[in-house]
Amino acid sequence: MDILTTLQVYKELADWYERQGQAAMRDRFLILAAEAAFSSGNPEEAERLRQRLLQGNPHHMLKPFSSFAQALQSTNIQIYIHDLQVNYPPETAEALLHDLRRGTPAAAPANEGDTLLETGAQINPIIEIRDEPTRPSDPATEPLSVYPLREEPPAQPAPSRRPIPRPPLVPPDKGGKGGAQPRLRSQPAPPRPAAPASVPLPLPPEPAAPAGAWLTLILFGMTVTAGIALAFYTLARPFLPVP
């Protein structure tokens, strides 16, 4: 199949899925048609198909690029287009188009789950979840045994109480007053704790005489002696003989 026929098949498949409201399949065949147009030497048609794709899907992985030629320079775009070409080669796309025209439901490719989505993320395989018990219930299963977390100590018997002896009865007085009254024994008073011995306080040290105090005492004694001698001379002068 030549490139122009392949381009026409991809465009018709994109138109058919657009009428059916299947946007994901429409976008895939628009990208394949744009790549076929670019490979046939018609970059204007490839850009027109890219703009048509972005009008229906503004958040497509081709949005960041300014043109389809620039998008083909990205490694992620190249891998994505290669996966689409593996899943939808020209012969498979042509057979799919014939089935859709006849009204026969088309089967998805076997490895479609391994292709990249338009957002650049890889499709995860579908995990089938069945409503089946993981382990069949056995009615003869023994009940679970419950074990204590720790061993309880054996209960100890309560200590027996000894009988309290009663004080002896005092015989009645001679006067016959009253009956026998129990006399309680006087218990000795507990000894008082001995007062701690008083510790003598240390005497304060005597102040030391400053240096030069002896010289001051000598001068003071000489001054007092001279004063006494002068007073004695003044009183005794009238009685002294005149020379």
Q: Which residues contact 114 (CB under 8 A, 6 or more apart)?
A: 83, 122, 123
Residue 238 has phi, psi (to 5 degrees) of: -60, -25
What pTM value is reported for the model? Answer: 0.46
Max CA distance (Å), the chain: 183
Q: Are 40 and 32 in contact (CB under 8 A)?
A: no
* Confidence at residue 136, expressed as pLDDT on a 0 to 100 scale: 47
* Confidence at residue 205, expressed as pLDDT on a 0 to 100 scale: 66
- Per 3-state DSSP, the chain is made up of helix, strand and coil in percentages (nearest 5) of 45, 0, 55
* Confidence at residue 131, expressed as pLDDT on a 0 to 100 scale: 40
Q: Are 27 and 15 in contact (CB under 8 A)?
A: no
* Confidence at residue 32, expressed as pLDDT on a 0 to 100 scale: 95
CA proximity to 50, closest of 81, 19, 4: 81
Tell me the pLDDT of the chain (243 aa) as tens digits. Answer: 788 899 999 999 999 999 999 999 999 999 999 999 999 999 999 999 999 999 999 999 999 999 999 999 999 999 999 999 999 999 999 999 999 988 765 554 444 444 444 444 333 333 333 344 444 445 455 556 655 556 666 667 666 666 666 656 555 555 555 555 555 555 666 667 665 556 566 666 666 666 677 788 888 889 999 889 888 888 877 776 665
* Confidence at residue 11, expressed as pLDDT on a 0 to 100 scale: 93
| Cα–Cα distance measured from residue 193 to residue 35, given in angstroms and rounded to the nearest whole number | 112
Sequence spans of domains, the chain: 3-114
End-to-end alpha carbon distance in the chain: 178
How many angstroms separate the Cα of 132 from the Cα of each of 92, 128, 129, 135, 139? 39, 12, 9, 9, 17
* Confidence at residue 130, expressed as pLDDT on a 0 to 100 scale: 39
How many angstroms separate the Cα of 240 from the Cα of each of 145, 194, 229, 231? 142, 81, 15, 14
Q: Are 180 and 170 in contact (CB under 8 A)?
A: yes
